[in-house]
Amino acid sequence: MTSKEKTWTWRDIPVGAVVEEPGNASEYLTGGWRSERPVFTPDHCVQCGLCYVYCPDAAIVMTREGYPDIRLDYCKGCGICARECFMSTFGLSCFEMVDEEEFR
């Protein structure tokens, strides 16, 4: 993942180093940092939304039906969603952390 500024020459840098668009950090995809991928199974999901609240990378969005949807472009694979899932109290976590190698 190379960022835009790596290819910039001095002519491309905006005058005054102004950042013109708010929230444009989302152009940079952090999914490449991941070593474990959360895999969601909706069988036990009670739509509590704890994974959405606790996700540090805002990588989980809630769908209209109320289920979490993982944006793998941004997920860094910390495993908080799997650990904090409400149903994990009963040993039935909605998320399972799978080694990224298996998706190659």
Partner 1 sequence: MENFNVFVPRLLDAREYFSAGHRACQGCGETVAIRQILKAVGRNMILVNATGCSEIFSSPFPQTAWHIPWIHVAFENSAAVASGVEAALKTLERKGRLPKREICVMAIAGDGATADIGFQALSGAMERGHNMVYVCLDNEAYMNTGIQRSSSTPFGAMTTTSPPGRLSKGQKTWKKNLPEIMAAHDIPYVATLSPSYPFDLVRKVKRAVEVEGPAYLHVLAVCPTGWRSPTAETIRLGRLAAESGVFPLYEVDHGRYTINLDPGELRPLKDYLGIQGRFRHLKPEDLEYIEERVQANFEKLRGKARMTAREDRKDRKKTGRPRPRQVKKAARSKK
Distance CA 88, CA 70 (A): 18
- Which residue's CB is nearer to partner 1, number 39 or number 97? 97
Neighbour tally for 77: CB within 10 Å: 22
Tally Cβ neighbours within 10 Å of residue 37: 19
Q: Measured in whole angstroms, how far is the alpha carbon of residue 39 from the centre of its chain?
A: 12
Q: Interface with partner 1 includes 17 (CB under 8 A)?
A: yes
Q: Taking CB under 8 A as the criterion, which residues in 21-40 touch partner 1?
A: 22-30, 33
Which of 83, 103 has the CB closer to partner 1? 83
CB 69 within 8 A of CB 51: no
Residues 51-90 that bind partner 1 (CB under 8 A): 52-59, 62, 71, 73-74, 76-80, 82-84
Residues that bind partner 1 (CB under 8 A): 3-5, 8, 14, 17, 19, 22-30, 33, 46-50, 52-59, 62, 71, 73-74, 76-80, 82-84, 97
